[in-house]
Structure formats: structure tokens, C-alpha cells
Structure 1
Amino acid sequence: MFWLLFLFVSGLKVLLIPSYKSTDFEVHRNWLSITHSLPLSKWYFEDRSEWTLDYPPFFAYFEWLLSQFAVYFDANMLKVENLNYDSRTTVLFQRFSVIITDLVYAFGVKRCLESLGIATKYQKLAGTVSLLFNVGLLFVDHIHFQYNGFLFGILLFSIALILEKKFIKGAFLFAALLNFKHIFIYVAPAFGVFLLKDYVFNKEIREIVVVKFLKLVIAAGTCVALSFGPFIDQFPQVLSRLFPFKRGLTHAYWAPNFWAIYNFIEKVGVSVLKKSSGVSTSSGLVQEFDFKVLPNIPPMVTFLLTGLMMIPCVLKLWKSGTKDSFLRAITICSMTSFMFGWHVHEKAILMTIIPLGLSSLSDFKDAKWFIFLSIVGHYSLFPLLFPIDLVIIKYGLYISYICAINLLYTRVFKGLKLSSFEKLYLCGFAFLTLYEYFIQHVLRLTHRMPFLPLMMCSVYCAFGVLYFYVNYYSEFVFDKRGDGKVKSKRK
């Protein structure tokens, strides 16, 4: 059943090949050309394109590896000067490269389900469908264009290894993941604390504590050395690419987090007080802005706030140290970074939804929150797929996915349902859709306020994400689910 569903989803991905592709397609084509045509010493200095290489070295090596096959499809795509090159063979190669590397994700899903010891038929089916058919990955990777499935596959493999108590291998793989895409540092506190609790200071593992700690350090250090070693002479330049702090507090489209609400309050304040706002935070530009009503937020404030908000989570994880609490801590750490981080992209919501999908298979409350966040979080990705000819595709995939997981999870758990308040909130998405495709045009606001539907989507989703965050976090910290003592209500 697992591989049959994988083949079905892969076929669906093939059908999406001709669909809209974002600027990220050119980003990765440019990286192919940089790593193939230039010496390694120039990879992080090349700037003929605005889409400069800004991922860690392991991902650059990954692009180089892909380029060794790309040359047989269309060598012109590997010329650095061929900006915005998108021949038919280039499109086919890049699209299929994402589909093929999704095998890593599939094996990661399968390994995690095995490591969790999923027992019942409907549990296995729910886990397989919710993860393999994750509609957010279809949106982001196979329409918008990225390689998140490949990266999440590595994350799931590392989780599975740690759950199986293969701590050094799991730590090595997670360290490798950080050297593919540094955004996964969001969940590093959960990994670090759990490894210390369940491995380094675990008295049942009869090794000297210092030796165990050194093994973890060597595993992580080996990855860093392999990744950054060839770039040691240009380390400051690489870091400047990895952490570009001049992009502003929020992305062009506000990710549905705390700062989206903060931006919205600023917009209302500017309007009420009739202040001149200069360049607007909702102008669709990626840059820093000066707030006129609320205080400006520098990067350091977001880092400190994110770190402080993670403290109760990691303390709870240290106290309990169970597999269940580890999975929930990954979810909470990723969501904390999503809520309060600097220049967060909307796509980062998948870093919360996918780990939550693992814990949802064995806990009644987690299952409810997984359904709720899947509805809110995946809807918040719709602005990425803005062309009008994608309306049927994105709504069709979205509704199919939500119906599928709702049906399966209600078979796994008795009495699984959302509260009246939650249902009422979710009904608001029908109004958002109606406004964007009908009311906005009837009111003739399309040209006067072109970004209003985006702001409405971002802010409305932000309240839903905040509601999930507060409730899920408090349940983890204050009740005993994090200790693995609450039994699931499975059939």
C-alpha cells in the first residue's frame, strides 16, 4: 500500500510539470550553472544573477551533483550568463530532479512509521496519506518549485534513527541536514536536549559521559568539516550569504505569524493616525522598513524572543525525555521559530506540520491539532500559487487532502472533532476565498488595493496559527501528555 500510494502521488507530480513555476526555478537553475561552470572558490562570490547561492555547502554540492546529469539534457542551462533560461528540457530536468529526489522523503516517511511502531491498519494508512500526500509539499516543491521533500526526508531519517536509539547516526544525519539548509536550526534545541537526556546522561548506556558527548561532537564536527572545509578561506563571505539580515522583519508576503499581526497593527495605526508610512510593509518588496507607530524590531530582538519562548519547551523535554515529548518538542521549537523569527517565509509552516503528523498518529489531541493546523497552514500557502489558472488545481488538491486526512483520522480515533469555536474560525476561509475571487472585484478594489487579499489571508491565518501555538504549547508544558502517560483513544 505504501509504495502504491507513492507511485500514485509521483504520477500526480508528473501531471503538475507544465504548471506555473516561481522565481525559485531560476534560483536553482542558476545554482546548477554556478556549481558546474565555476571553480569552487567562486561559488559564493558569483553575483551576475540576483539569485546568488545562499544555502550551506552541502546543498551546493547537491546542486553540483545534479549538474553532472543536467549537462546531458541541455548544456545551455549550465552557462552562468544564461539568466532566466527555461528551455523545455531544462524544465523537464529540474521538475524530474525534484520528483526523483523525493524518494529520500518516501524512505524517511517509511522509516519513521516503522520506528514509531504504528500498529493498526488505519494508523498506517493515516500516516502514509498525511505524509506522502502532504499537499504543502505538492504546492511548494512541484508547482512553486523547491527541494523540500528531499530535505524533509533527511529530517525524518534522523528522527527515525534517534527513536531507534542509534544516536550517533541520527546526530550525524541531523548535522548533515543543517549543512544542506540552515533553517533546520529551528528544531536543533529539541534534538540537542533529547540527545543529552536520552543518550549522554542516560545511565543505562554504560559509557563514560564525556566519551558519549565527544562522540556527538565528533559526529557533528565531521559534517561541518566536510561541508565548510573547502571554504575555510572564504568563511566570512559564506556566512554573509547564509544570513542576509538586510531583508527585513517579514517577507514580501507576510508569513502567518506574530509579526504579521504586528505589521497589521502598524498598518491600522498609520491609517488611524494618518501618518506618512513611506515604503509600505505590504508593498510586495523584500527590504527593511521603518515603522511609524510601533517600535522597529531589529534581528537581535527576534533571536532573543525566539530563544526565550523555547525555554519552557526544552525544560519539559529534559524533564520527560520520552519519544512522544521529543516529537512534540520538534513541533513546538519549529513553530516558535516560525512565530517569532526574523524574515520567516510562509513555506516554513511545513516544518511544524510534518513533525506534528508523526505525533498525531498515536495521540488523540495531536490528531485534532494536526487536522486544524493542516487546514490553516496549507491555506496560508495559497498566495504562492497566484495565477488564476491554478485555482482549480490548488483548491482541488487542498480539499482532497483535508477530506482524506479527516476521514482517516476519524477512523483511527473515536469522537475526534474540532470545537465549535474552531469550526467557526475555519468557516472564515470560505469568506476569504469569496472575497479574493468575487467581492474584491465587485467593490473595484483590485487596482486600488491589490495586496488586500494577501494581507487578509496572512493575518487571518496568523490568528489561527497563534491559537494553535498557544494551546498546543500549554498542553505540552502543563499536562502529562509530554510524559507519554495519556493513552490514545484509538479504535
Structure 2
Amino acid sequence: MRDIFWHLVGISTGLKILLIPAYHSTDFEVHRNWLAITHSLPLNRWYVEATSEWTLDYPPLFAYFEWLLSQVARYVDPRMLEVHNLNYESKATVYFQRLSVIFTDLVYVLGVRSCLGALGLARDSQQHFAGAMLLLLNVGLLFVDHIHFQYNGFLFGILLLSIGCLIRQRYLWSAFAFAVLLNFKHIFLYMAPAFGVYLLRFYCLEQASVAAMAAAVVKLLAVGLTPFAVAFGPFVQQLPQVLARLFPFKRGLTHAYWAPNFWALYNTADKVAASVLRVPPGAASTTSGLVQEVKHTVLPAITPPVTFALTVLFMLPILVKLFRSPKKQSPLVFLRSVVLCGCSSFVFGWHVHEKAILMVLIPLCLLTLVNREDARYAYILGIAGYFSLFPLLFDPDLFIPRYSLYMSYVAMLYGQLYRIFPGFRGFRVWEWLYMLGFLAIPLYEHVLAFLLGLDKRLPFLPLLLTSVYAALGVLYFFGGYYVYALGLSWGGKVAVPPKATASSVKRKRKTK
């Protein structure tokens, strides 16, 4: 059993290699263009270049990462590094970019190993085995990185390394890793409040004297700000332009495909109300399929400050609980805070991408290993969250892979719940009914729509059904899990999280 982790790494890598020829999205061209920009242009033009519509809009460390990749890419196929060579995808280019994602996943592997060790899970325990399976074979990362095409794996690897350091009380290393992560992809700002509160409470304020507290704050700021200085220093003269690229508030409330969050339901309610009241839609429709600013027809318009205020408001309760939690329980409360901060941003954020659900699902895998109630909620969100990624894999050739990978993963997760937690009581009746309801969407999309002739009349209905139905599950998880994490009353019972720390699961159950 001690080598099973690396066997799973090998299985995961083999599966990723098999997916190399699969369909890839426009994100493939996005990253090819970024390779070309960083390789062919001087640094002061990286964030102003606009030959392609896919302009560079990640923080500078990711731009430096693309530049490093381009130093290898020039030996593979120099034509991929030409800025004006748009939509170029030679076979060599495809293999290079696909393999670069697989290679950089090594950081993710190290992050997974670090977190499993930090949680105190013995390497021959069922929890360790389950954690390795759920994280290394994560179907969401397979969908988004190795089919759709992105580099989320190594970014989540840095996140897991930061979490692992924090649980081990290596606070400065944790802060440094998280600051590095923010300079690779700024979407992880959603999790920053949880890290900030924890480091303030258990690193700075735990010091023995006021002078020691002040010294801790200075060290924390120095460690946390250094990556920002290194990353943004060369762009200091272009800072407004860089920030405009990083925070494009003119893209509209929702993405072209609605992420399964509160705003998907809000948009749907607006459409239904407009239909009932027979109000004609505006020029810019939320269902136009375009990334643009839109106005709702009946319901009040939503602005970025509104989404920001709601996001912060819903983060506050769990952050207060984290700040007040005893140190013995703090790692568990911290992990729940990371999940709920990420979920608050996903549910109420501005222009949320459907892929952002991984920011909730990946950390939730860790909580699945240490408490049965966390695991129960994780399964419900997994059913909805991973399913909501299907519209990214819309090519007919991907129907069989997407359904088979999804069903295999959720079946594996279900099996592990019963092996980790003997006597696992399962789910409530309405939860089973909700999860089984996902069977109706592919039944309609692939059978009933054609039989009823609706595939031409209502071509976007499967997307709408997926967004709205998955959003119901996301909001159910968000509300129920939040109540549970706070230890409040829910349905006549008191949801009190266990007092055990993450390390209490160590050697609880051996794998047979």
C-alpha cells in the first residue's frame, strides 16, 4: 500500500496522455497566443498587445511562466510563437501544449502528497488511499485541463502546498506560497480572507508580547508582498493597464454560458417574468451567447458593487467563526472557511466562469476524508458541480468520455464514503431525488429533444437546464453546509461539527 500513491500518479498520467488527441477549446489558442506574446514581444508590450481577441489577462507570474514554456516551444515548432499566426495548431503544437499541462501537474502531485501528510493520514490507511484517488484522478481537472485545456492543476498544486504548510504551522511558507499563487492567477483572491484571518489569529496574535506580534506582522507582510513586488515591479509604469486586464468589469454579470450560481437563477427568473408580462427583451440579452454588459428586462440590474457586497457579506460568518475557533480545531475550521469563501464568491461573484466550481470542489476533497457530514455534502456538490462542466465538452465525440469519466468518478467517491466511514447513513430522500434528477437532462438532450423536434427550435435549452438545475444543488450545498459549519440549527436539529482535529483520523482504519 505504501507505493499506491505513485501507482495512482502513473494511472492518472496515462489517462491524461490518452486524452491528448481529444477536442480542445478556444483556451488552447489563448495560451498559444500568450506563448507568442511573451516570446516575441518586449515585456512592456505584453499587456497592451491586442492582435488576437485573447489578450493576456493573467497576473505577471503566469506571463513569466508562459515565457519559460516558450523557450522550449521554439525548439518544437517556432511558428506557434508568431503573434500574427492566429489559431495555429500543428500536431507538434498540440502535443507540446498538452504535455506541458501534464508535466506541470507534478506540482499538483506534490501538493496532494503534502496535504495528505499534513492531515496526519497514515500512508497505508483508507483515508490516504481515498484522498489520493479523489485528488489525483479528479474528474473536474481532467475535464477542464486535459480536454477543455487549461493549467489549473499546477495552480491548485500551489494552493495545496500552501494549505499543507499552514496545517503544519509553517505560517510564513504558507503565506509565501499563497502570495505566489495570487500572482499566477488572481481568482484565488476569493480564498484570501480565510488565509488572512487564520494567519492573523494564529500566527500574529498568538505571539507572547506586543513587540513579538508587531515583528510577526512585519515578517508576514514582507513574505506576502515580496512575490507581488517581483511580479509587478517590471510593470509598474503600466500598472493601470495591467489591472484593467486583470479585472475586466465590462464583461457583464454572467459568462456567455451561465455558471450554476445565484445569478443563473436570477437571469432565469427575469426571463420568466418578462415572458409572463410580455415585456420585449433589450438589445443585449443574457441568452445571446456573447460576453457583454446586459440589462435585465424586469428585475433590477445588478452591478459589480452589489456582487462584491453580497460576496463579502456571506464570507463574514465563517471568518468570524474561524477567528474565534480554538487552535486545536482551527485546521478543520480553516478548511471549511476556504471552501465557503470560495463558494460565496462562486455563488454571488461578478462574471463567474463555470470552471471556478473547482475552487470549491478541490479543497472539499480534503474535508471528505476527515468527517462523514463534510463527505455527505461534498458528494452532493460533486454530483452537481462536476456535471455542470459538461457544456465545456460539447463536441459529440466527447459524449461517451464525459459520461463515463463522470459516472466512474462519482461511483468511486460513493464507494470510498462507505469504506472510510463504516455505517455511513447516506442521503435524505429529497437529496437522492435531486441527484437522480440529473439523469433527465441527458435523456432530454440526446433523445427527447430530437423526438419532439426541439433540438432546432430550442437549441440552448440543455445548457439552460444544466445551469439552472446544477445551481439548485450548488445553493442547497451552500446553505446546508454553511449552517452545518457554523453549528447552527437546521431542520429542528443542531448541526454541531465534531471537535476532532484533522489529525484525529490518523491510522483510524487500515486498507485491507
* Range of TM-score over shorter length: over 0.9
Count residues with an aligned counterpart.
Answer: 491
Unaligned runs of at least 5 residues, structure 1: none
Q: 5 Å matches for 1:320-399? A: 320=325, 321=327, 322-399=330-407
Q: Which runs of 4+ in 1 moved over 4 A?
A: 204-207, 482-491
Q: Secondary structure at the match of 1:169?
A: helix
User: Is 1:71 matched with 2:79?
Assistant: no
Q: Which residue of 2 aligns with 1:170?
A: 174
2:479 and 2:314 mapped to 1: Cα distance? 11
Q: Which residue of 1 aligns with 2:491?
A: none
Q: Encode CA deviations 1:333-383: one digit per residue, 9 max, x unaligned.
A: 000000000000000000001111111111110111111111110000000
User: Is 1:260 matched with 2:264?
Assistant: yes
Q: Which residue of 1 aligns with 2:9?
A: 6
Whether the 8 Å contact between 2:332 and 2:501 is mirrored in structure 1 is no
1:371 and 1:122 mapped to 2: Cα distance? 18
How far the C-alpha of 1:229 sits from its partner, in A, is 0.2
Task: Choose the corresponding residue for 1:422, options 431, 443, 451.
Answer: 431
Q: Encode CA deviations 1:258-305: one digit per residue, 9 max, x unaligned.
A: 000001101101111111113321221111111111000001100011
Task: Choose the corresponding residue for 2:118, options 94, 115, 120.
Answer: 115
Task: Choose the corresponding residue for 1:287, options 273, 283, 292.
Answer: 292
How far the C-alpha of 1:483 sits from its partner, in A, is 5.3
Task: Choose the corresponding residue for 1:94, options 94, 97, 102.
Answer: 97
1:275 and 1:154 mapped to 2: Cα distance? 49
User: Is 1:182 matched with 2:191?
Assistant: no
1:206 and 1:121 mapped to 2: Cα distance? 43
1:116 and 1:457 mapped to 2: Cα distance? 35
TM-score, length-scaled by structure 1: 0.98
User: Is 1:297 matched with 2:306?
Assistant: no
Task: Choose the corresponding residue for 2:108, options 84, 105, 109.
Answer: 105
Amino acid at match of 1:481: P
Whether the 8 Å contact between 2:331 and 2:501 is mirrored in structure 1 is no
Q: Larger deviation: 35-44 or 285-294?
A: 285-294
Q: Secondary structure at the match of 2:188?
A: helix
Task: Choose the corresponding residue for 2:27, options 13, 16, 24.
Answer: 24
1:26 and 1:363 mapped to 2: Cα distance? 42
Whether the 8 Å contact between 2:127 and 2:420 is mirrored in structure 1 is yes
Q: Which residue of 1 aligns with 2:311?
A: 306
User: Is 1:44 matched with 2:69?
Assistant: no
Amino acid at match of 1:75: P
How far the C-alpha of 1:415 sits from its partner, in A, is 2.6
Q: Encode CA deviations 1:414-450: one digit per residue, 9 max, x unaligned.
A: 2321111111001111001101111111121122211
The sequence identity of aligned pairs, in percent, is 56
How far the C-alpha of 1:82 sits from its partner, in A, is 0.3
Whether the 8 Å contact between 1:27 and 1:51 is mirrored in structure 2 is yes
Amino acid at match of 1:5: L
Whether the 8 Å contact between 2:16 and 2:146 is mirrored in structure 1 is yes
1:127 and 1:174 mapped to 2: Cα distance? 22
Q: Secondary structure at the match of 2:454?
A: coil
1:488 and 1:163 mapped to 2: Cα distance? 14
Amino acid at match of 2:251: R
Whether the 8 Å contact between 1:325 and 1:483 is mirrored in structure 2 is no
Amino acid at match of 1:294: L
Q: Secondary structure at the match of 1:71?
A: helix
Q: CA RMSD in A?
A: 1.6
Whether the 8 Å contact between 1:325 and 1:484 is mirrored in structure 2 is no
Unaligned runs of at least 5 residues, structure 2: 488-494
Task: Choose the corresponding residue for 2:497, options 465, 477, 481.
Answer: 481
Q: Larger deviation: 143-152 or 278-287?
A: 278-287
TM-score, length-scaled by structure 2: 0.94
User: Is 1:468 matched with 2:477?
Assistant: yes
Change (3 A) 1:396 1:104: same
Q: Which residue of 1 aligns with 2:492?
A: none
